[in-house]
Chain A
Amino acid sequence: MAEGEEPEKKRRRIEELNENMVVDGGSVDHTEWQGRWDHLKKFLERAGPFTHPDFEPSTEALSGFRHIHVVDMDTIDVSNLNRQFLFRPKDVGRPKAEVAADFVNGRVPGCNVVPHFKKIQDLDETFYRQFHIVVCGLDSVVARRWMNGMLLSLLIYEDGVLDPSSIIPLIDGGTEGFKGNARVILPGMTACIDCTLELYPPQINFPMCTIASMPRLPEHCVEYVRILLWPKEKPFGDGVALDGDDPTHIQWVYQKSLERAAEFSITGVTYRLTQGVVKRIIPAVASTNAVIAAACATEVFKIATSAYVPLNNYLVFNDVDGLYTYTFEAERKENCSACSQVPQDLQFPPSAKLQEILDYLTENASLQMKSPAITTTLDGKNKTLYLQTVASIEERTRPNLNKTLKELGLVDGQELAVADVTTPQTVLFKLNFIS
């Protein structure tokens, strides 16, 4: 055969394969079968009165979601099995991402889920940039803010105008008992996680004096043992931290909690309560997670196919009494510290101590930072004013907390760069001296 014919033959074969992939793919290929897409194709082939104005029906989009990456730092615990349907007793101890990927790849032919047994923070922009859509089912506000910040950092502005192709939609779902919410975030365009930070009230921990000297509830007794007694008695050795998954640890805490409770005539300490307090267990059920996951998946479908206008932009669900949903448009905050690109204003007198700025960063409801590190430029050089996450630097910079802003050499209009776990990028603040 002449060389020139070979490429022609190859090209034809690829075309044949593609044709068989679409719609009623009746090929020998075992990852397709007759009717596979029947329930979906009507939404993609037919326009309708409620479809997205830009939607153009076509049959080519039909291949399902095949390329999915899953990131999860956790391993499977036996307590997960009552609601996490991709895991079985034999999987306990294995990484969730890997087991989930294996299961889905085995059950859904043609699907290619790639697992990453990592923290979301272990991956960088080059990783996240490759995706069309990011979906989150995270278990903390801090993690959500981080993901939010990451996608915001990928936005490209040209002459102050946002390049829409740099937007990666973020679909976020969360549940707690019988309550849940699902939201769609278009970074740079719609309300982001930080815009609505006040929707997440700060976690309230029991006051120390209650735990130390005035317990009233069984929970106070457990916290006493966890926070005060364990570090003092080191029951399993020096430097051995309390492990909520170790039954021998929990048993020790439980016994000591009972003793504490008896001292104050408090009833109600049980093994289960002890474990719940130590592990900060929030009760969870399969049904609420199914509802919120489904709502999120519906949004992914809408965005990926452009078939419908996505949720705009926040759904709340509660099925304690009947079933209740509430849908509203969360508004962008004009001066949001994450997405507004407006340098944040810090108003303090020059006589204020640096500690006051630190307190503001952690206590302010719109900022809620965890352990901010503050740096600035003085005399043309980068100077760390305070940083807590590295012990040696914390020690060195601690005296600065007690110094006034004037003493530290800061001037009106000074730019402070703040880094924190709640965001992958530093947040810029502008110091505004008031009298």
Chain B
Amino acid sequence: MLWGDHGQEGLENAHVCLINATATGTEILKNLVLPGIGAFTIVDGHKVSGEDVGNNFFLTSSSIGKNRAQAATELLQELNSDVSGNFVEESPDKLLDNDPEFFHRFSLVIGVQLPESTCLRLGSVLWDAGVPFLVCRTYGLIGYMRLIVKEHTVIESHPDNALEDLRLDQPFTELKHHIESYDLDSMEKKDHSHTPWIIVVAKYLEKWYSEHNSQLPKNYKEKEAFRQLIREGILTNENGTPEDEENFEEAIKNVNTALNPTKVPSATEDIFNAEQCENITSQSPSFWVMAHGVRDFVRNEGNGKLPVRGTIPDMIADSDKFIKLQNVYRDKAMKDAAVVSKHVEALLQSFGKPPESISEQEIKLFCKNAAFLRVVRCRSLAEEYSMDTFNKDEITSCMDSADSEMVLYLMLRSVDRFYQQHSRYPGVYNYQVEEDINKLKLCVNSLLQEYSLNVNVKDDYIHEFCRYGAAEPHTVAAFLGGSAAQEAIKIITHQFVPFNNTFLYNAMSQTSATFQL
């Protein structure tokens, strides 16, 4: 599977809490139960209604009137017998009143179709307890997700288009020696055509340096000239026509990226400069201890560079040449990781922790991913809502375009306001729709006024949100089900990068947007 055995282990040790087994809730859980989450607990004080059965694949008409948490647990449980399914027939508000620490045991809490007040209360408890909180909502044809987690570190972000770590601009000693062992000019055709392109580029770079004052080709013109230099190195036959040397073609193609200067990516720099990296204590998570170790390496043995990653892409070459070259990089990566280990050990010892508390394997993985480390910090709901800290700039600038998905966020905040005032959502019954449009508009205006938001919310959206009548159509719930489940898996496995922090999906236009609120 895509998150490896160690990721799967993390998943199987996790315990997720779902609040409210509505269609959105059960669709999310389905996508966690199937890949084998360790355990789930559904918290839901509702009884199954006819309406619930109409849009929820994990409820049947025979469960109408019964405990919704239990009914859903049964049908979700049977998706995977390795998963432990549990339920608590209680409203989250009651639990917050009587036993807020109930929520401390979970790896992640997913709150679905929650009223604003419950959301904020729960958000505060989970923030203080350091438990990640994922809020999900299907409202008519709109999907909404909000992730709240103080600090989420990612070692394995698995970026889609990562640049290789070849060090051609500053070859380390062992690589230099290996390159020196080649003499392209004296090679027979077979060897010449099966020399790895990395060696070809390195050799021609030496030629270039001798003619260009040891400067790397910098702009397009110079890179073109460099490519031409390589092309001229292609062997020709007796008639002078160039031979078919695919390795040289690969070299030419890769000139663009192979000569990028080796440097520490800004995201990794930010991690090195973070307060958590600077001030390591016995409480520091291993991520920060290792970051500090790598930082020490970069500032000393690494000469400003990260530990060598150790992998090279496949390329046209004979097996022997390729494996030998691959081993040069692999061995250097191992050496660098060992040095980082020493730094980490010293750190651990400095506050009385045994060196085994962070394994060799972990350190190797960290070094291999040093260029891809990420830290995601999602603000609390309190910060999002507070008059002093709400993200006015983001909201106003997005609303320059009246149909930006930001308007959907403002509408959701407005229907929450409506609910607060009228103890119901707008337009649930046909006879309410017309009157509610005006009432909802008042809510929109009061929201904008309270936050001094000088933006225009088109009447069309107010009308549409009344029209929805707080319905939860199954296809929209299912879209969120897939989206939210994968974000949950990211949080649990610490692999791939979660969104930060508000996601909106519009099923009418099939568009989406992410905002940091």
Contacts and interface: CB of A to CB of B under 8 A. Distances in A.
A387 B323 CA distance: 43
A40 B473 contact: yes
Given A42-B467, A49-B464, A291 B35 contact: no
A265 B317 CA distance: 15
Given A39-B55, A42-B467, A322-B500, A216 B485 contact: no
B475 A298 contact: yes
Contacts of A318: 160
Interface residues of B, number: 80
A30 interface: yes
B2 A177 contact: yes
A287 interface: yes
B239 interface: no
Given A35-B51, A36-B50, A217-B314, A294 B497 contact: no
Interface stretch (A80-88, A250-258, A351-359): A80-88
Interface string A19-37: 0000000000010011111
Contacts of B496: 178, 319-321
Interface residues of A, number: 63
B321 to A, nearest CB: 9
A89 B394 CA distance: 49
Contacts of A213: 318
B163 interface: no
B464 A107 contact: no
B197 interface: no
A82 B35 contact: yes
A176 to B, nearest CB: 11
B471 A43 contact: yes
Contacts of A146: none
B35 A83 contact: yes
Interface in B201-223: none
A294 B483 CA distance: 11
Interface in A303-327: 308, 311, 315, 318-323, 325, 327
A294 B478 contact: yes
B319 A286 contact: no
B61 A33 contact: yes
Nearest to B22: A39
A390 B27 CA distance: 48
Contact of B479 (A46, A291, A301): A291
A283 interface: yes
Interface string A54-78: 0000000000000000000000000
Contacts of A293: 478, 482
Given A35-B54, A294-B476, A297-B478, A287 B194 contact: no
A210 B27 CA distance: 46
A43 B512 CA distance: 21
Given A36-B50, A82-B1, A215 B471 contact: no
A109 B62 CA distance: 11
A298 B476 contact: yes
A81 B33 CA distance: 11
Contacts of A43: 140-141, 471, 473
A34 B50 contact: yes
B478 to A, nearest CB: 4
A294 B60 contact: no
B49 interface: yes
Interface in A203-261: 210, 213-217
A287 B31 contact: yes
A386 B264 CA distance: 58
Contacts of B79: 85
Interface string B444-467: 000000000000000111011001
Nearest to B315: A216
Contact of B433 (A46, A214, A285): A46
Nearest to A24: B50
B352 interface: no
Contact of B475 (A30, A283, A297, A319): A297
Interface in A171-188: 177-178, 182
A40 B54 contact: yes
A33 to B, nearest CB: 5
A228 B319 CA distance: 18
Given A40-B55, A297-B475, A216 B508 contact: no
A275 interface: no
B396 to A, nearest CB: 22
Contacts of A157: none
Contacts of A35: 49-51, 53-54
A177 B479 CA distance: 16
Given A286-B30, A292-B482, 17 more contacts: A37-B54, A42-B471, A43-B140, A48-B463, A48-B464, A50-B508, A85-B30, A107-B57, A216-B319, A287-B489, A290-B479, A294-B476, A294-B478, A297-B474, A297-B475, A325-B510, A327-B509
Q: Across chains A and B, which 8 residue pairs bring their CB atoms closest together, nearest first?
A: A290-B482, A35-B50, A291-B482, A294-B478, A49-B460, A322-B499, A294-B479, A287-B486
